[in-house]
């Protein structure tokens, strides 16, 4: 088969030779777990809200199939096309996120969703990958053209995102995008002094969110003072991990899905822990780690600054999202409603992470010519950094 693929010169054959197949397999594993855990967790949730037992399963299968197609389709794109898709997608994402403030669905005091037939869409989910691409493009254009104000434009776009997400409010999403932005600035060569200043601003912003938003204050206080407030969801999730032990109670034998309203979404990792055990949970964590680490290792041989900065931002957002979901479920950080990529229920999340991984695969493909922005092994840009103000 390998010999045939080398002889075959069709676009798909060339893609198969050059794409990171290990990452592609890892994505397939996560999608498989997403389907299995949806079979386990969603029927009880659907019955509780008076819907058909298979409603969430049917929807999520459609989402996952579409996500798989997006991963493959996006991974075929050229670097130039990714820049265009990122710019257009970011503009549309900003417009749709702004629309939520006027015509959005209000859930638990936040306006983050737009109602569409058969589903609702969270536009801010799509800002994560597109913002990472646009920021990388602006920062690298600044290096190519001496007087191009790429940094100022990137800061302005970040300010727009900040205002929109604060208005919804969606502090968790804002935290992820802020972390992605600071990481990209550091990789671009921002001095450690200014990076520390950015981290200080993030800490000050978290303190401000704690003071201004009651739901943020409630979550932080419940995390810091376990004896105060309602801990039903976290206590139930932690008991589920204890009940599962090393090998789990078996598929369909868990009880947490009957007790938690978001067992198919924010707390799907607890379902995995109870029914499949700690070993499977550690395996899932390992799959996420492989995707992130392989992408970063590939950058060690890359000298195109756009690929380095964009890929770093994309995998930072992907890995941080997974950490926030699993960390919240395990009570390692304050609870935050954020999905587990490719595993939790949700169409917006599935499409967003599919775009993210598809672009990572496209950016890290092996290229044999200079027209697609890779010139061969060299010292990586972020190891040859020059501090910039």
pLDDT value, residue 378: 40
Nearest partner of 77 among 19, 24, 161, 3, judged by Cα: 19
Between helix 268-298 and helix 305-329 the angle, nearest 10°, is: 160
Spell out, as residue ranges, where the chain has pLDDT lower than 50: 1, 3-4, 370-383, 385-389
Distance in angstroms (rounded) separating the CA atoms of residues 337 and 328: 8
Model confidence pLDDT, tens digit, residues 54-97: 888 999 999 999 999 999 999 999 999 999 999 999 999 999 99
Distance in angstroms (rounded) separating the CA atoms of residues 66 and 58: 13
- pTM exceeding 0.85: yes
Model confidence pLDDT, tens digit, residues 127-177: 999 999 999 999 998 878 878 898 899 999 999 999 999 888 888 888 899
Q: Within 13 Å of residue 17, how many CA atoms lie on the same side as its CB?
A: 16
pLDDT value, residue 230: 62
pLDDT value, residue 326: 94
Residues 6 or more apart whose CB falls under 8 angstroms from that of 31 comprise 64, 67, 68, 342
pLDDT value, residue 286: 96
pLDDT value, residue 281: 95
Output the DSSP codes for 240-268: HHHHHTTT-S-TT--SHHHH-TTTTTTTH
pLDDT value, residue 376: 39
pLDDT value, residue 274: 93
pLDDT value, residue 301: 86
């Amino acid at each position: 088969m390998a010999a045939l693929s080398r002889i075959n010169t069709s676009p798909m054959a060339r893609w198969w030779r050059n794409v990171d197949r290990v990452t592609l397999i890892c994505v397939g594993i996560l999608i498989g777990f997403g389907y299995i855990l949806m079979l386990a967790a969603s029927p009880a949730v659907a019955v509780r809200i008076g819907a058909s037992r298979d409603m969430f399963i049917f929807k999520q299968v459609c989402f996952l199939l579409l996500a798989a197609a997006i991963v493959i389709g996006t991974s075929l794109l050229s670097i130039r096309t990714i820049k265009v898709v990122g710019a257009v997608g970011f503009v549309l994402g900003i417009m749709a996120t702004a629309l939520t403030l006027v015509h959005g669905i209000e859930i638990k005091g936040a306006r983050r969703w737009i109602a569409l037939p058969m589903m609702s869409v969270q536009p801010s989910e799509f800002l994560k990958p597109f913002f990472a691409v646009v920021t990388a493009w602006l920062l690298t254009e600044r290096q190519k053209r001496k007087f191009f104000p790429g940094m100022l434009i990137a800061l302005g776009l970040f300010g727009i995102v900040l205002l929109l997400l604060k208005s919804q409010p969606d502090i968790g999403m804002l935290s992820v995008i802020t972390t992605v932005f600071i990481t990209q600035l550091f990789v671009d060569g921002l001095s450690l002094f200014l990076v520390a200043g950015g981290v200080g601003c993030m800490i000050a912003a978290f303190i401000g969110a704690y003071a201004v938003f009651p739901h943020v204050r409630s979550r932080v206080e419940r995390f810091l003072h376990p004896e105060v407030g309602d801990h039903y969801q976290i206590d139930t999730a932690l008991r589920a991990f204890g009940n599962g032990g090393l090998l789990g109670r078996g598929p369909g034998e868990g009880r947490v899905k009957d007790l938690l309203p978001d067992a198919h979404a924010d707390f799907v990792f607890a379902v995995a822990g109870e029914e499949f055990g700690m070993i499977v949970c550690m395996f899932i964590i390992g799959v996420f780690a492989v995707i992130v680490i392989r992408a970063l290792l590939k950058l060690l041989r890359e000298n195109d600054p756009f690929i380095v900065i964009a890929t770093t931002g994309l995998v930072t957002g992907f890995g941080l999202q997974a950490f926030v979901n699993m960390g919240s479920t395990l009570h390692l950080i304050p609870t935050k409603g954020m999905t587990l990529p490719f595993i939790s229920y949700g169409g917006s999340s599935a499409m967003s992470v599919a775009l993210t991984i598809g672009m990572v695969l496209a950016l890290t493909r092996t290229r044999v010519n200079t027209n697609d922005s890779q010139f061969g092994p060299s010292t990586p840009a972020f190891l040859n950094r020059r501090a910039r103000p």
